[in-house]
Structure 1
Amino acid sequence: MPRIVDHDQRRAELTEAVWSLIREQGLAGVTIRNLSERSGWSSGAIRHYLPNREAILNFAAQQIGERAWQRLQAIPTSDDLFQDFLNRLEVTLPLDEEGRVWLEVWLAFVGAAVSDQDFADAQGVLYRDLNAVFVEAFSGFAQRGWLPASDPQAAATEIHALLDGLSVHLLLHQITPQQARTTLQVALSRMLIDPGSA
């Protein structure tokens, strides 16, 4: 009887191995040989899923977006619209080990994107996807009268830039997780005003 292969599990294993290489050696350290050594898979098994280095790097970049989306989707909702949105914003910051891992990988791709258009395009997709989530959220707040001083696109750009900056500061250990949370909450409180609280 043929063995049943869990492809999702195998992709998850590959993700962990590729990300581990990127975190330790940068994008230059990602080769099929290194990935084989790190994952314990044969080169042939890796090529079955990812035929070359370009495919490996594209896969690693794609997984950043998928992990970010999974983390966002896992946040429970309540009747407190402000707190729910704040919770979703916080989960994009490297406040725990999982968030730190994928943001370190993201930062490696961002560095490469400065001089490589392919990487720039890949990171642009991730940025646009996340930005679209923010625009949609701020559009909902605007319809409820919560966004008096800005429009949804401008608000999304502002909060996205703040998250990027806080993420880098956290990765460099220049601020504490609590400082990041407080900064984010204060900024969001300035942007969103519950009309029912006036």
Structure 2
Amino acid sequence: MPKVVDPQLRRRELAEAVWRVVRRDGLDHASVRNVAREAGLSMGSLRHYFVSQSELMAFALRMVIDRIEQRIAALPPDDDPLRHAARTLAELLPLDDQRRAENEVWLAFTARAMTDPELRTLRDEGYEALRAGCRGLVAGLVSPGRDPEQETARLHALVDGLAVHAAMRPDVETPESMYAVVVDHLAELRTPRAARPPAEP
């Protein structure tokens, strides 16, 4: 009896093969041939699941977004908005092997998105989702005297910056140090800010 293959499972396995190739050899080496070899399949078999390299790349990037969203959705309810915010943001930062892989793949694809319209759409979707998520977390924490939109931009920049730094220097930006920075920043949002004159350009 022929082996029954779950198409969605096989597509995810191929996307994971893309991730491995990208992390090990770089995005330029993530050809259909190399990904098929990494997954232990022939090129013909791979094309049963993805008709083009572009479709395969888009699926691999989409899987980063989907996995993060699934983890956040699975977080247990928490009455403490600061703890809830810290736990939510922890799912976005490279604090373990899986999240490091997602972060490195996301950053690699971000550069390619400059010239690939489909990847650019996914990149922008991820950007907007993170921005909206930061806005929601800030709304539950921000104290009087702080501008919610400005604090949303600050939090968004902090998370993005930590992710980039962790990819560049994981020996400096450790999981412990990143989480401590996030918790400290979130606690600061609860502190009223004194009125200050507008900054000069």
1:159 shift after superposition:
0.9
Instruction: Decide whether aligned partners of structure 1 residues 181 and 40 sit closer, same or farther in structure 2, where only a CA change above 3 A counts.
Output: same
Q: Which residue of 1 aligns with 2:184?
A: 186
RMSD of the alignment, in Å?
2.1
Q: Which residue of 2 aligns with 1:54?
A: 54
Amino acid at match of 1:86: A
Could you tell me the TM-score, scaled by structure 2's length?
0.84
Q: How many residues align structurally?
A: 189
> CA-to-partner distance for each residue in 1:56-87, whole Å, 9 max, x for gaps?
11111111111111221232222222101111
Identity of aligned residues (%): 33
Q: Which residue of 2 aligns with 1:159?
A: 155
Q: Which residue of 2 aligns with 1:77?
A: 77
CA distance in structure 2 between the aligned counterparts of 1:28 and 1:117, rounded to whole angstroms: 13
Amino acid at match of 2:112: A
Q: Which residue of 2 aligns with 1:169?
A: 165
Structure number with higher helix proportion: 1
Amino acid at match of 2:134: F
1:20 shift after superposition:
0.6
CA distance in structure 1 between the aligned counterparts of 2:38 and 2:87, rounded to whole angstroms: 35
Amino acid at match of 1:24: R
Amino acid at match of 2:98: E
CA distance in structure 1 between the aligned counterparts of 2:116 and 2:43, rounded to whole angstroms: 28
CA distance in structure 1 between the aligned counterparts of 2:50 and 2:151, rounded to whole angstroms: 39
1:2 shift after superposition:
6.9
CA distance in structure 1 between the aligned counterparts of 2:190 and 2:163, rounded to whole angstroms: 22
> CA-to-partner distance for each residue in 1:65-120, whole Å, 9 max, x for gaps?
1111122123222222210111111121101000000100011012333x425233
1:138/1:147 contact within 8 Å kept:
no
1:149/1:191 contact within 8 Å kept:
no
CA distance in structure 2 between the aligned counterparts of 1:32 and 1:54, rounded to whole angstroms: 10
**2:11 corresponds to 1:11:** yes
> CA-to-partner distance for each residue in 1:29-70, whole Å, 9 max, x for gaps?
111111110101222221122111111111111111111112
